[in-house]
Amino acid sequence: MAPGDAPIDWHDLAASSHYRTAVAVHEAMRHGDLAMADAGIQELIDALSRSEKRALRSHLIRLMSHVIKWQTQPDRRSRSWVATIANARAEIAEIRDETPSLDRDVLESIWEGCFRLARNEAEAEMDRDAEVSALSWEDVFEQDYLLG
């Protein structure tokens, strides 16, 4: 931080812009303020982790919603549903590969909340109650969903 600069609220900055946070960390390092740079890096890491967890939740909800629809409406199954299930699984796998801390334990910790949201989403799209009261790991990640 240059002399006379206002202190940086790393939490707010990292929450609003990862790029601007990285630039501010770089500036702190350029000015030799390693404590400030370290604080910025910590907040950036935390913000990126939160962002990845939100993405993981979003893909899990989408995946669960389509599995619920698949189980509830066998007559409506389509290539689009097959593709959506495969894509959501791939996105989740990629997030987990890039962020190893988002492991199975994390998925299991958000499972019930994601299931409730997915069931609500599926019921709204189907305009009927889902015939599914729970989904297993196998249902979501291991079961083959193919037409025919």
Summarised one tens digit per residue, pLDDT across range 76-125 is: 999 999 999 999 999 999 999 999 999 999 999 999 999 999 999 999 99
Question: For position 55, what pLDDT does the model report?
Answer: 96
How far apart CA 120 and CA 143 sit, in angstroms, is 22
Q: How far is CA 121 from the centre of its chain?
A: 17
**Long-range contacts of the stretch 82-87 (C-beta < 8 A, 24+):** 82/145, 82/146, 82/147, 85/145, 86/145
**pLDDT score of 116:** 98
* Domain layout of the chain by residue ranges: 10-142
pLDDT of 3 reads 54
How high does pLDDT run on average in the chain? Answer: 93
Non-local CB neighbours of 45 within 8 Å, separated by 6+ positions: none
d(CA 16, CA 43): 11
pLDDT of 11 strictly over 80? yes
pLDDT of residue 2 exceeding 70, the answer is no
pLDDT of residue 52: 93
pLDDT digits (tens, 9 = 90+) for 54-84: 999 999 999 999 999 999 999 999 999 999 9
